[in-house]
Amino acid sequence: MDRDAIIAASKKHDIVSGKPYKYGTAGFRMSADLLDGVAFRVGLLSALRSRKLSGQTIGVMITASHNPAVDNGVKIVDPMGDMLEQEWESYATSLVNAPTHEELADYYQKLADTLKIDLSSPGKVIAGRDTRPSGITLVTALADALAATKTEYIDFKILTTPQLHYLTRCINTAGTPGAYGEVSEVGYYKKLVEAFYRSLRGRKVTGTLSVDCANGVGGPKLSELLKHHDSTKTGLDVKVCNDDVLRPEVLNLDCGADFVKTRQRAPPSPKPAPGDRWCSLDGDADRLIYYWVDPDTGFFMLDGDRIATLAASFIADLFRNAGLDGQLRIGVIQTAYANGASTKYVEQHLQLPVVCTPTGVKHLHHAACSYDIGVYFEANGHGTVLFSPDAVQTFKTKEPQSPAQKDALETLSALADLINQTVGDAISDMLMVEVILAHKGWSLRDWAMTYSDLPNRLVRVEVGNKDLFQTTDAERKLSHPAGCQDEIDQCVKKYTNARSFARASGTENACRVYAEAATRSEADELANKVAAIVKKYGGE
Ligand code: 16G
Ligand code: MG
């Protein structure tokens, strides 16, 4: 290894000392001012990771998703487009926290030695970034690390997070039987649009869809996709809104999926006309929330739980129609934040199994892989549907016994191409929702009628030390601090159909409390009481 080259390059990209850096659920994410050295060091780690995996390409995405414009983040993508393997998260944390340039170079060498990585073998890394201006300098830091370690590097410039995941998988599967697609942004648009046509099977989407793009990267990318789409074929008429990426300060400001989900209301601008169909993406286009504003009853939101139930019910029907019932296994993966009514609907009405995992896409994705079809969504709109290679093969090779079976098999096959298999993708998920609604002939209101959500409340609680709060049972219970869960249980018992849990946030210095109950006032009251318990146990 060229130790001197690494040290010299590192000196141009200092870390801000005294900050505890941790590779969390969303990689490293914080104020962009603190990230130059972090991006450099992530470059070193991705170079190691690529060489460890026989030179397969690693992806690096620079984004802070729904955070304010002044923040940024750096995240590593593994060769198949999934999240960085968990064990490597702690290597990333240690590498980024090395106190001096020399210790950094030493730790890099030590990792190579213990992991038996041949530093003279070829390595390759690709990068993408969202529209934040700070992304440009962070990419330079990353590129400097890759140059210092003689790692091949391609900068794909501005991308949505799911596009970077797509490209990573495409590069690593190119020329193999599992080739995922053309290695280009245009290849992504062509693949999605072609699969959208095939999935609709001649049906037409009705009603304009206005898409709030959070003034983030999803805006220009959605407009780009639409250039490849012929609306006369599909009926899909998209109005791209909140797509101002020239004024960085408006990113995620009073708009986007996170705003809609947490405020439980439509963005104030542009004002949705009563009855219009709307959806919102987040700042890096990996979250999706649908809604409309009813002239009588007001705002109604269809979140990740609703998208999961819609997809699961449609796919389960296609399974029956294709004669695949009992042959392949479908499962739905949720987190503790899923509304209890959605879980009940999947288990009792759709008769499908539900698995609960801790918060964070990687946990859901992992659990979904154990099904032939794994439908996973967080309530906040992150999610996708995974099809196993076996399932995809079956759709293609099963001999249909009737025209209806043939139709169902071809629809399933098209859906497997339409739905991003690497990570939740708001644009791909949106096309999936449009396909399903067109097949079912449903409006958003029909979709909303499938079940009624339990009223719920999410509260953020500032505590002295959030690390005191440790969970078990997929975050549904606290194991520590001792006594806290008992008090929560005693409190929940007093309400009808109620559930509540508390956990330390993985992205902020606070705890979160979720409560649901039979009525709005009970849910609010329960959330406040549990928040008070958490505060009491939370340290000075
Ligand atoms: C991150 C996660 C998201 C999760 C959220 C929870 C990914 C790509 N993102 O944004 O899935 O819902 O963290 O935040 O995994 P919290 O721990 O602060 O509640
Ligand atoms: Mg996001």
pLDDT in tens, 207-255: 999 999 999 999 999 999 999 999 999 999 999 999 999 999 999 999 9
DSSP 205-227: --S-EEEE-TTSTHHHHHHHHHH
Is residue 420 packed enough to be buried (19+ CB in 10 Å), middle (13-18) or exposed (0-12)? buried
The pLDDT score that the predictor gives to residue 273 is 87
Q: How far is CA 345 from the centre of its chain?
A: 23
- The answer to whether residues 161 and 284 touch, using CB atoms and an 8 Å cutoff, is yes
What strands, in cross-sheet order, belong to the sheet with 330-335?
354-357, 330-335, 373-377, 383-387
The pLDDT score that the predictor gives to residue 275 is 79
* 3-158 CATH fold: Alpha-D-Glucose-1,6-Bisphosphate; Chain A, domain 3 (3.40.120)
When pLDDT is cut at 50, 70 and 90, the band that residue 507 belongs to is confident
Packing angle, helices 101-114 and 3-11, rounded to 10: 140
pLDDT in tens, 141-180: 999 999 999 999 999 999 999 999 999 999 999 999 999 9
- Where would I find the H helices in 386-450? 389-397, 403-418, 426-440, 444-448
What average pLDDT does the chain have?
97
> 285 C-alpha vs ligand 2 centroid, how far in Å?
6
When pLDDT is cut at 50, 70 and 90, the band that residue 313 belongs to is very high
Measured CA to CA, the distance from residue 144 to residue 140 in angstroms comes to: 6
Ligand whose nearest atom lies closest to the CA of 288: 2
**Which of these ranges, 13-27, 42-56, 116-130, has the smallest mean pLDDT?**
13-27
Same fold, 3-158 and 456-537: no
Residues with CB under 6 A from ligand 1: 25-26, 359-361, 378, 380, 382, 505-508, 512
pLDDT, average across residues 428-454: 98
Measured CA to CA, the distance from residue 296 to residue 272 in angstroms comes to: 14
Q: What is the CA angle 480-368-323, rounded to 5?
A: 145
Which residues are tagged catalytic?
A: 65
What is the CATH architecture of 186-301? 3-Layer(aba) Sandwich (3.40)
Measured CA to CA, the distance from residue 154 to residue 376 in angstroms comes to: 31
Residues around ligand 2, an ion, CB closer than 5 A:
65, 282, 284, 286
When pLDDT is cut at 50, 70 and 90, the band that residue 315 belongs to is very high
Which CATH homologous superfamily contains domain 304-448? Alpha-D-Glucose-1,6-Bisphosphate, subunit A, domain 3 (3.40.120.10)
Measured CA to CA, the distance from residue 540 to residue 527 in angstroms comes to: 21
> 191 C-alpha vs ligand 1 centroid, how far in Å?
28
pLDDT, average across residues 185-213: 97
- The answer to whether residues 84 and 78 touch, using CB atoms and an 8 Å cutoff, is yes
pLDDT, average across residues 324-342: 96
Measured CA to CA, the distance from residue 288 to residue 307 in angstroms comes to: 9
Question: Domain extents for the chain?
Answer: 3-158, 186-301, 304-448, 456-537
Measured CA to CA, the distance from residue 57 to residue 153 in angstroms comes to: 9
Share of the chain above pLDDT 90, in %: 95
> 478 C-alpha vs ligand 2 centroid, how far in Å?
27
The pLDDT score that the predictor gives to residue 1 is 63
Helix (H) or strand (E) holding 301: strand 298-302
- CATH for the stretch 456-537: 3.30.310.50
Helix (H) or strand (E) holding 318: helix 304-321
The pLDDT score that the predictor gives to residue 461 is 97
The length of the chain is 540
The pLDDT score that the predictor gives to residue 359 is 97
Can you give the C-alpha Rg of the chain in angstroms?
23
What amino acid occupies position 411?
Answer: T
Packing angle, helices 426-440 and 403-418, rounded to 10: 160
In testing the pocket of ligand 1, which one of 507, 511, 513, 534 has its CB within 8 Å of the most ligand atoms? 507
